[in-house]
């Protein structure tokens, strides 16, 4: 859609004036690659008894739902990145300049110019998926994780590697799935607790 390129070129013209800010945003977006920040957070939760179930829930949701988006849904839709389209060719120099590989393993560039398909944004899906689950797990303490989820998605728009609709759809899908996973996790936990009580009572009545 042409309006999406209008948005991306506006960002390129008005928001990319500072190399420092560009690098900071790129640094932030790296932590969303492969859901690194979310898996790391979930692993920390595993060592805290109160949040152990929350950590397990985030890990499973990331593998099943974010994984579905990245490895099944994206290839099915097969939408090219905006900077690879003829209308977005003017965005490519910025992307190539900012996305220099962080390191190289066996000749393969790691975290260089994004080479996967565009729809839906993986950063947006995983950000709102994990951010929503964590936030709903403790609304008073964990609201910054929800904010971080939005920030992760917006970095992809700032860096013009996704269309606006990639980000919006990712936010909507990730947020909805995060809420549903939260409900399912609570339902399973209640069923498990109820079954454990019945088993405990039965053992005492023997």
Cis peptide preceding 186, ω within 30 of 0: no
CATH number of the domain where residue 163 is located: 1.20.144
Within a domain: 62: yes
CA distance 156 to 171: 12
- Number of compact structural domains in the chain: 1
25: domain range?
A: 2-7+20-191
Total-model pTM: 0.89
Within a domain: 135: yes
CA atoms within 13 A on the CB side of 159: 29
The pair phi, psi for residue 109, each rounded to 5°, is -75, 130
Q: What is the pLDDT of residues 96-150, one digit of tens each?
A: 999 887 666 666 666 788 889 999 999 999 999 999 999 999 999 999 999 999 9
């Amino acid at each position: 859609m042409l309006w999406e390129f209008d948005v991306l070129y506006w960002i390129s013209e008005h928001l990319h004036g500072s190399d420092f800010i560009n690098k900071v945003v790129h640094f932030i977006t790296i932590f969303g690659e492969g859901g690194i920040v979310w898996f790391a957070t979930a692993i920390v939760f595993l060592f805290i008894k109160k949040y152990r179930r929350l950590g397990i829930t985030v890990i499973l949701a990331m593998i099943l739902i974010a994984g579905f988006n990245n490895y099944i849904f994206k290839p099915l839709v097969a939408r090219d990145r905006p900077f690879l389209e003829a209308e977005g060719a003017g965005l490519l120099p910025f992307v190539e300049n900012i996305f220099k590989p962080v390191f190289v393993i066996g000749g393969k560039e790691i975290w260089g110019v994004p080479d996967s398909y565009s729809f839906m944004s993986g950063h947006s899906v995983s950000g709102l998926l994990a951010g929503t689950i964590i936030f709903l797990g403790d609304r008073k303490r964990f609201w910054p994780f929800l904010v971080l989820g939005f920030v992760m998605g917006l970095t992809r728009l700032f860096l013009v590697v996704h269309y606006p609709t990639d980000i919006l759809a990712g936010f909507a899908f990730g947020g909805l799935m995060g809420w549903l996973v939260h409900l399912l996790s609570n339902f399973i936990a209640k069923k498990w607790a109820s079954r454990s009580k019945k088993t405990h009572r039965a053992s005492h009545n023997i």
